[in-house]
């Protein structure tokens, strides 16, 4: 995994970046891996699986429960809620534009959308299934899924691998282009207000875009330490030291409090903020990030300008038609 250990290193890596190369519009198509080419049949199957609560032990929690495609791609909770009302220690990341993340989960422990899709289903707090063997057995017992998997992958195709491939194929369609920012960098200089342009330039001047770079403003697979600077008041208020981030996976001291750089896309819709959902508003998040990452105290005007720019990153959401899930007439699993 490629990690940038400090803001200074990030700035050195970024070098002198021209506006022409720094400001990129979001692609409208996400690349698919060679072993999982995108097809309409996979997308439709993945959409069903993504929205089906029967992939949980209680028949009550689906992928969409925490990553709501009718809103900002997450659940607007400080901590995601799973089966039996259990909550974890982290906020659900948005699924919109997740196809452009180099790694998945806040701690980057999944290298792909396919890998990520496998995790929550058997997490005891999230969807609570005992094993993927149980999930596969359940899917095989549903006639509609047997047909849908056959259409997507061929006969006798129900498996963990194919289920996660289908979910990932669907998630690669969840792209939100044509935000006011995208229109601005494409040449429509009226798409952003003067305040939003000031905020855009300010994020570069301050160094925010050293990490939040690229068309999704999530860096090139970058991990960043958070918080970078010590501040006893903010550390206590926001509990930043409670979760060790990547180190919880790698068990390496050097990885403590290292996090995947999250996207800024649609950030106005994904409150509360940070990995633990500790900041309730975008103004608050900008204030804290400036202090904890850049050691800067921003003026009210600067905060307002940056927040205005971030609001300009809300894109156009593709129309979502909810799937008709395969039925189990006369019976249920719970």
Residues carrying an active site annotation: 126
| Residue 300 to residue 44: CA distance in whole angstroms | 47
In DSSP notation, 138-173 reads HHHT-HHHHHHHHHHH-TT--SHHHHHHHHHHHHTT
| Residue 308 to residue 266: CA distance in whole angstroms | 12
Query: Is the separation of the CB atoms in 323 and 51 below 8 Å?
Result: yes
Only one residue has tokens 């106005």, namely 268
Which of 83, 76, 11 minimizes the C-alpha distance to 281? 76
| Residue 192 to residue 189: CA distance in whole angstroms | 7
Residue 21: how many other CB atoms lie within 10 Å? 8
At 237 the three-state DSSP class reads: helix
Tell me the CA distances in angstroms from 144 to 46, 162, 195, 269, one per residue in order. Answer: 13, 16, 52, 35
């Amino acid at each position: 995994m490629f990690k940038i250990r400090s803001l200074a290193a990030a700035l050195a890596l970024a070098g002198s970046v021209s506006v022409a190369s720094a400001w990129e519009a979001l692609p409208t198509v996400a690349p698919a891996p060679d072993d999982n080419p995108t097809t309409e049949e996979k997308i439709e199957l993945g959409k069903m699986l993504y929205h089906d609560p029967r992939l949980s032990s209680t028949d009550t929690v689906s992928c969409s429960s925490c990553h709501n495609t009718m809103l900002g791609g997450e659940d607007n909770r400080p901590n995601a809620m799973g089966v039996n009302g259990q909550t974890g220690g982290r906020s659900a990341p948005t699924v919109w534009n997740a196809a452009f993340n180099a790694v998945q989960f806040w701690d980057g422990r999944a290298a792909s959308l396919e890998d990520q899709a496998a995790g929550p289903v058997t997490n005891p707090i999230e969807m609570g299934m005992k094993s993927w063997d149980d999930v596969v057995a359940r899917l095989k017992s549903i006639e509609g899924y047997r047909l849908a998997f056959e259409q997507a992958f061929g006969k006798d195709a129900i498996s963990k691998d194919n289920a996660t491939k289908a979910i990932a194929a669907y998630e690669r369609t969840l792209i939100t282009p044509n935000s006011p920012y995208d229109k601005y960098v494409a040449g429509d200089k009226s798409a952003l207000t003067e305040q939003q342009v000031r905020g855009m330039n300010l994020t570069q001047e301050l160094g925010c875009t050293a990490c939040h770079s690229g068309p999704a403003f999530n860096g090139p697979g970058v991990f960043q330490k958070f918080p970078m600077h010590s501040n006893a008041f903010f550390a206590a208020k926001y509990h930043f030291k409670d979760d060790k981030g990547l180190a919880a996976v790698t068990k390496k001291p050097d990885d403590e409090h290292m996090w995947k750089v999250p996207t800024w896309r649609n950030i106005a819709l994904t409150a509360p903020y940070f990995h633990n959902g500790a900041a309730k508003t975008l103004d608050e998040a900008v204030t804290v990030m400036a202090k904890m990452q850049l050691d800067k105290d921003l003026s009210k005007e600067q905060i307002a300008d940056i927040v205005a720019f971030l609001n300009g990153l809300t894109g156009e959401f593709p129309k979502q038609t909810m799937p008709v899930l395969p039925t189990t007439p006369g019976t249920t699993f719970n």
